[in-house]
Amino acid sequence: MNTIDFYFDPISPYAALAFERLPEVLAGRSVAVRYVPILFGAVLKAMDHKGPAELPHKRDWTYRQVLWLSHKLNIALDLPAEHPFNPLPLLRLLWATAQPSQTPNRYAVETVFRHVWQGGLDAVDPERLQGLTAVLAPPQDPNSDAVKQALRQATDDALARGVFGVPTVAVGDRLFWGLDALDMAVACLDGDAWFEGPAWAQAAAMPTGMTRLARKAG
The predicted-structure confidence for 9-65, as pLDDT tens digits, reads as follows 999 999 999 999 999 999 999 999 999 999 999 999 999 999 999 999 999 999 999
Query: Are 118 and 70 contacting, i.e. CB atoms less than 8 angstroms apart?
Result: no
pLDDT given at position 1: 86
For every residue of 133-172, DSSP letters joined together read HHHH--SS-TTSHHHHHHHHHHHHHHHHHT--SSSEEEET
Does residue 173 form part of some domain?
A: yes
Q: Over the chain (218 residues), what is each successive 10-residue block's mean pLDDT? A: 96 98 96 98 94 93 98 98 97 96 97 98 98 98 97 98 98 97 97 95 92 59
Q: Judge whether 217 lies within some domain.
A: no
b/e burial code for range 163-194 (CB count within 10 A of at least 16 → b): bebbbbbbbeeebbbbbebbebbbebbeeeee
CATH number for 95: 3.40.30.10
Which conformational region is residue 162 in: left (phi greater than 0), alpha (psi within -120 to 50 degrees), or beta? Answer: left
* Residue 80, in any domain of the structure: yes
In a domain, 218, yes or no: no
Gap between the Cα atoms of 6 and 70, Å rounded: 20
Asked if residue 215 is part of any domain, the answer here is no
Whether residue 113 lies inside any domain: the answer is: yes
**Count of domains observed in the chain:** 1
> Nearest to residue 32, comparing CAs of 146, 150, 169?
169
Domain annotation covers residue 107: yes
Q: By residue range, what is the domain housing residue 172?
A: 2-204
Q: Which pLDDT does position 210 carry in this prediction?
A: 87
Element (H, E) at 211: none
Which H or E element spans position 36? strand 31-37
Q: How many CA atoms lie within 13 A of 100 on its CB side?
A: 5
pLDDT at residue 215, as a whole number: 53
Compute the radius of gyration of the chain from its Cα atoms: 18
Q: Is 214 within a domain? A: no
Residues 189, 187: Cα–Cα separation, whole Å: 5
